[in-house]
Amino acid sequence: MGEILYNKLIRDEIPTIIEESHKKCVTKRVTGEELMQLLNKKLAEEVEEYLESNSIEELADILEVIHGIVHHRNIDFDELEKMRAKKRDERGGFLKGIKLIKVY
């Protein structure tokens, strides 16, 4: 089997899983702006996968990437949740399925 080039952000335990399957991998620890760019790219990738599959597993992957972004931006997740709840209280959520057609 030949090499496969990925150049993408992976979950923390993937290198161990690869090695346990008797394969080798090359990884690089990234930080700062490069990490944020890769997290944003991973978020877009996971959203695309969800849109294609409608899978709850893909929703969980989206949430995991969001947790990673929150962590690396030093945002308190409870504060993020408070902000989400405040916006929901002020403008509502997306539970009623209201589609805006036009305003005049």
What are 30-57's pLDDT values in tens digits? 999 999 999 999 999 999 999 999 999 9
Q: What is the mean pLDDT of residues 2-22?
A: 96
> Domain of 62?
30-76
Residues 6 or more apart whose CB falls under 8 angstroms from that of 80 comprise 70
- Residue length, the chain? 104
Q: What is the pLDDT of residues 52-98, one digit of tens each?
A: 999 999 999 999 999 999 999 999 999 999 999 999 999 999 999 99
The verdict on residue 72 lying in a domain is yes
pTM of the model: 0.88
The verdict on residue 91 lying in a domain is no
Q: DSSP letters of 21-86?
A: TT---------HHHHHHHHHHHHHHHHHHHHHH--HHHHHHHHHHHHHHHHHTT--HHHHHHHHHH
Beta-carbon count within 10 A of 46 CB: 19
Say how many domains are in the chain.
Answer: 1
The verdict on residue 59 lying in a domain is yes
The dihedrals phi and psi of 76, each to the nearest 5 degrees, come to -75, 120
Instruction: Tell me how far CA of residue 52 lies from CA of 14, 46, 56, 61, in angstroms.
Output: 23, 10, 12, 14
